Amino acid sequence: MTDPVPVWRRLAGTAVLLDGFHALKHAVRFGAQVPVAVTADRRAALALADELAPDVRETLDALLAEVPSGTYESLVPRPHPTAVAALAVRPSREAQLRVLAHTPRTAPVVVLDQPRNLGNAGAVIRLAAGFGATGVVTTGTMDPWHPAVVRGGAGLHFATVVERLAVAELPPGPVFALDPGGEDIRGLELPDDAVLAFGSERSGLSDALRARADRLVALPMRPQVSSYNLATSVAMTLYHWSATGGAPAP
């Protein structure tokens, strides 16, 4: 087997880090190009594949190269309990934009307006993939493909579209922006082509996103409770969409 370490070091500055077995499993399952994958314990990694991912076990068997634990730890910023890591090719911006621009859409796009917390963004991407959302768009400076976001999303970036855009570049469709002063979401049916926008954890919707919104909508919340966690808000909204006519992709 070719020594994976030189390949890793050559690609490390340009490829997406898949941190842990589950991130690699999901990336492979949803068609990611994975040029190199390493583990400090190949037998344990393949046992996980037998138990949790028999559908991609053969692919993982061909991909995974065992390296000494010290070598594995030198390749990643923070070792994962499964001692598995890989590098994947990030989808091109052009390909992502084509999917977002395609109409008619059969599922909403989630917009995170200037998010700050990498883990929250990853959790939202995981939710969006589970609900079959068309994609997750972020505005602002945070890279939604940052390794900590990919780790939080368990590699499910490859199951949906993930891209950073300016507010002026948002995909077509009516924009429903979540805001405490909006109309109660329980009285609405969210269309499949909705663009569902969520403000930042600290300051809410930006002026630009608020101006772009077609409707402001609010989640039910007990008085004197300030807000929900970002991922919780996205989950409640996507559940409402799925329960009032939409359905997760098969």
- The answer to whether domain 4-88 has CATH 3.40.50.300 is no
Q: What is the mean predicted confidence (pLDDT) over 24-47?
A: 97
Confidence of residue 227 (pLDDT cuts 50, 70, 90): confident
Indicate the residue type of 244. Answer: T
Quote the pLDDT of residue 1: 59
Q: What is the pLDDT of residues 93-106, one digit of tens each?
A: 999 999 999 989 99
Quote the pLDDT of residue 224: 76
Q: What is the mean pLDDT of the chain?
A: 93
Using DSSP's 3-state secondary structure scheme, residue 97 falls into helix
What burial letters (b/e) apply to 61-79, b meaning 16+ CB within 10 Å? eebbbbbeeeebeebbeeb
Quote the pLDDT of residue 250: 57
Confidence of residue 125 (pLDDT cuts 50, 70, 90): very high
Domain ranges of the chain: 4-88, 93-243
Q: Which residue has 């493909």 as its token pair?
A: 145
Q: What is the pLDDT of residues 12-32, one digit of tens each?
A: 989 999 999 999 999 999 999
Quote the pLDDT of residue 124: 97
- pLDDT at residue 248 above 70? no
- pLDDT at residue 245 above 90? no
User: What is the end-to-end Cα distance of the chain in Å, rounded?
Assistant: 37
Q: What's this model's pTM, rounded to 2 decimal places? A: 0.92
Confidence of residue 92 (pLDDT cuts 50, 70, 90): very high
Confidence of residue 188 (pLDDT cuts 50, 70, 90): very high
Q: How many residues does the chain have?
A: 250
CATH class of 93-243: alpha beta
Secondary structure letter of residue 23 according to DSSP: H
Query: Which of 2, 4, 6, 41 is CA-nearest to residue 20?
Result: 41
Quote the pLDDT of residue 96: 96
Quote the pLDDT of residue 204: 86
